[in-house]
Amino acid sequence: MTETPARRYHLAALIVLLAGTAALYLYGLGSSGNANSFYAAAVQAGTQSWKALFFGSSDAANFITVDKPPASLWVMALSGRIFGFSSWSMLAPQALEGVAAVGLLYATVRRWSGPVAGLLAGATLALTPVAALMFRFNNPDALLTLLLVAGAYCVVRATERASARWLMLAGVAVGFGFLTKMLQAFLVLPAFALVYLMAAPTGLGRRLAHVGAAGVALVVSAGWWVAIAELWPASSRPYIGGSENNSVLDLVFGYNGLGRILGGAGNGGGAGRAAAGVRAAAATPASAGPPASPGSSTTASAARSPGCCPPR
């Protein structure tokens, strides 16, 4: 393909956009300290214990997990294992996820609306104040945003040529989004499915079959960790933080499901649920390890159960 001046300008503009985004998100990153200490404790635990890394435990003794699935913690903790735990090693992956999200959004919009629209979309995301905060912090939203943008890119590619493979990749991206922040990742599914069902250049039967295959890919990519956590003997794994019965499924449909919509102690929120969760975790001796003293990291982690702290 012949390189035209316009293509060179667009490529140069993209490089400037990505470099500027990286500079914006990485500059002075260490000044954020441990950011959200709730997740920082889990990241540090993951650098000390592989089991804590896998389950997203709040401490290396594997007393209790955070109230989210662990995908975002995996990235930060692996960085900490490579470079040593620090504010920078924890937050730099978050910033780089932001750069990747900007690049993928550009690529997504460019395919249907051209490079200028893609550059505007990428710049809008990069300069949105909440995005600048999100990609410089250690909450799960950074990875969730990247995965959902990646899912949108895959849907666009799938719709162009009625590609089951690309649509299944979109399902995988959303599935790992579930392992980042559970049901919030599924908010995009109606739009993704409708776009493909309405616009893919093939028959309705094939479109429905492709959506079904993508659904299977989503369930597998989202469900493997849930299945392991549910089948793992409760006596040898940490208590599932935020749940009432030490179950990931209760966390999915309770605190991180209906509890987010309905609120109240009976629906996953409130101090009553938090106290019940901490008491249940403390009553699980095989997984709790030695008794925690007041002020210890274990006690602090348990105290940050759902309902006692601002929403995360």
Percent of the chain with pLDDT strictly greater than 90: 76
Question: What percentage of the chain reaches a pLDDT higher than 70?
Answer: 82
Q: What is the pLDDT of residues 221-251, one digit of tens each?
A: 999 999 999 999 999 999 999 999 999 999 9
Unique residue bearing structure tokens 């959004």: 105
Evaluate if residue 202 carries a pLDDT over 90.
yes
Say if residues 144 and 181 touch (Cβ distance below 8 Å). Answer: yes
What mean pLDDT do residues 138-152 have?
A: 98
Yes or no: say if 174 and 186 are a contact pair by the CB < 8 Å rule: yes
Torsion of CA 249, 253, 254, 258, to 10 degrees: 180
List Cα–Cα distances, 290 to 62, 65, 236, 238, 293, in angstroms.
11, 16, 14, 13, 9
Average pLDDT over every residue of 59-70: 95
pLDDT at 272: 39
pLDDT tens profile 256-272: 877 776 665 444 443 33
d(CA 163, CA 156): 10
- Single pTM value for the model: 0.85
Domain boundaries, given as residue ranges, for the chain: 5-229, 234-303
DSSP string, 247-308: -HHHHHHIIIIIHHHH-SGGGT-SHHHHHHHHHHHHT-HHHH-SPPPTTSHHHHHHHT-TTS
Beta strands (DSSP E) in 150-196 are: none
Specify the DSSP element, H or E, that contains 203: none
Mean pLDDT of 102-128: 97
Q: Which residue has the tokens 């605190």?
A: 255
* pLDDT higher than threshold 50 for residue 162: yes
Confidence at residue 232, expressed as pLDDT on a 0 to 100 scale: 96
Give me the DSSP letters along 55-119.
Answer: HTBSSTT--BB-SS-SHHHHHHHHHHHHH-SSHHHHHHHHHHHHHHHHHHHHHHHHHHH-HHHHH
Q: Residue 215 belongs to what H/E stretch?
A: helix 204-231
